[in-house]
Amino acid sequence: MLRTLAIAGRHMAARSRVHALRRMSSGPPKSAMSFPCIDRLESRQRDLLAGPEPTYDKVVTGYSTYTHHAPFVCDHMGVLHGFDIAYESWGTLNADKSNAILVHTGLSASSHAHSHEKNMNPGWWEKFIGPGRALDTDKFFVVCTNVLGGCYGSTGPASVDPQTGERFATTFPLLTVNDIVRAQFHLLDHLGIQKLHASVGASMGGMQSLCAAALHPERVGRLVSISACARSHPYSIALRFAQRQALMSDPNFNRGFYYDSVQPHVGMKLARAIATVTYRSGPEWELRFGRRRRAPELPPALCPDFLIETYLDHQSERFCLQYDANSLLYVSKAMDMFDVSRSVTERLARQRESVVLNEPVAPVCLNEHEQMDAGEASSVETDEEILEDLVSGVRNVLQPALVLGVQSDILFPVKQQREIADILRKAGNERVTYYELDAMYGHDTFLIDVVNVGAAIKGHLENEHLIK
């Protein structure tokens, strides 16, 4: 017993000497790294528990609303029992209503493309619209809508379902770009506009402008598609998938039913940060931020430290309560599914025609065990067959077309705009103009480069020699 106690005492003394040596060699007690960015997120979450309400329904004022009262069957067989489209206009519609230009927006933009007396705040395309500008309101009547599925006045997941009296949330039907365009043409019918002077759009708006000309070739006089594509490609699909996954992983997302609770703020912020990386270019950020740090005199931090990190943090925080999370999911998915190919357009039309109104249709998706693997999927069509299908899809798009690409765009690389110009020409369109801009602003060039983008658009819209 005494021997055991002696051994235990020697072990305790040895451990004490080791601890003492460690304390001597390690210096002052170590403190944990601070995480002010996480502190701010937690503080914001606490604020959201008590308010404020999300601000996306208050961002835009001064728009008009068209209400479509008849049932609207969507391409993937969902049904809206009527819908609203928010729109704004500039200029004057002439007597025969032939000078209208429909401006299509990108993913998250509102109808407020330009300021006016009902809303004097600058619009998202402020410098491109107005007297003497690219879209000259002394000559043209310019209309811009908030897309179906959006959250700035048009019917979307945040809207109240008239059938239930509750917000749609993720009971809202899946949409396609074709659905968005078809809803816009119901607005044009309401306005008495039988034929547009031009359909103009960039990014997802460029998808819409091409789609409008393909679905309604007799109603579109000219086409302008900027930084867009004829079909979404895997790289951009992957980037938008990552955004949706970040958003849906937020515990507050609650499968889309968050309107009466805490908004998925963190998921939205992460999604927007990913998106912002794709909107600009490396060369611009080299020039604008370089490797400069916010506080170079301080030790490196895991929270925003480099200026590029503080920029992403600020931009994503600013966005996350100005746009509805479900709208981001639905509209971005519509972008992913965009394909102007004839076979796709006809398949979607058949799906719509198969719907029997007043019978609910549950969303259909492949079981994970039924999904094609990459090798099987890639063998479905050859490159030649895909090209032929695309050409057939735009076979009636014979009006003057302007296609713009930007060399620094990583989200919609110029190869995709060349593809648009190529399929239009192969379809027999002899009035296709393709420009490739050497700008450093990446995908957002269409918002920034007023001189080059604006001049190309203005020339195309006003060139009378383009019409045979």
**126-155 as b/e: b if 16+ CB within 10 A:** bebbbeebbbbbebbbbbbbbbbbbbbbbb
Candidates 443, 444, 449, 460; catalytic one:
443
Candidates 203, 281, 392, 408; catalytic one:
203
Identify whether 161 is a catalytic site residue: no
Candidates 179, 409, 444, 449; catalytic one:
409
Rg of the chain (C-alpha set): 27
Identify whether 443 is a catalytic site residue: yes
Cα separation of 25 and 130, whole Å?
Answer: 71
Identify whether 409 is a catalytic site residue: yes
- The residues annotated as belonging to the active site are 203, 409, 443
